Amino acid sequence: MKGFGRVGAVLIGLTTAGLLASTGPASGQQRPCLEDLKKLCPDASPGTVEARACLTDHFADLSEACRKRVEALRARDRGKRRIPPHLRACRSDLETFCKSIRPGGRRLIRCLKEHAAELSAECKPVVAGTRSAPQAPTPAT
C-alpha cells in the first residue's frame, strides 16, 4: 500500500503538470489564466472543470490573454459532438442527417428513423433495434 501511495502521488503530479503546461500557448506565457484564476476563482484548482467553468462565468473580467485561451477552448469543444455509445456506429449518418439535432430525449433516434431509407449499412441495424420516444399527443380541435 505504501508503494502505491508513492506511485499514485507521482502519477497525480505528472498529470497535474501536464494540465498546467497545456493551459497556454507553446510560446511566451504558458498559463495565461493563472492570475485570473487566482483573483476571480480562488477556490478552483488550475486545470479542473471547476476552474474552466468559473473562468467562463467571469469571461468579461478576464485578461486579454486568458480570454483568448478560453475562446480557443470553446472553439475546440464546439467541434466535438457527444454521441451516445449505442449510436457510435451511426456517427457519419448523424453528421449527415442530424447535425443540428441536440442529443437527449431520443431526438437523435427519431431523426435517424426519419432517414431510415438513407442510412449506412452499419447504422441501419442499430436504429432498427431501438425504439423512439412516444410523440406528444396533439391537442384535439
pLDDT score for 19: 38
What's the pLDDT at 66? 92
| pLDDT in the model for residue 81 | 64
Please report, for residues 31, 111, 112, the alpha-carbon distance to residue 124 in angstroms, rounded to integers and kept in the order given. 47, 13, 9
Of 120 and 22, the structure prediction assigns the larger pLDDT to 120
Instruction: Quote the pLDDT of residue 41.
Output: 92
Q: What's the confidence (pLDDT) of residue 136?
A: 47
Task: Give CA separation, 22 vs 15, 50, 62, 69, in Å.
Answer: 11, 17, 19, 11
Residue 122 · residue 101 · CB < 8 Å = no
pLDDT in tens, 29-88: 568 899 999 999 999 888 888 888 888 889 999 999 999 988 888 777 766 667 788 888
Please report, for the chain, the start and end positions of each structural domain, with discontinuous segments joined by +.
29-79, 85-128
Here the cell at position 34 is 493563472
pTM of the model: 0.40
Angle between helical axes of 64-78 and 49-57 (0-180°, round to 10)? 110
> What confidence tens digit (pLDDT) does each residue in 104-141 have?
888 999 999 999 999 999 999 999 987 654 444 455 55
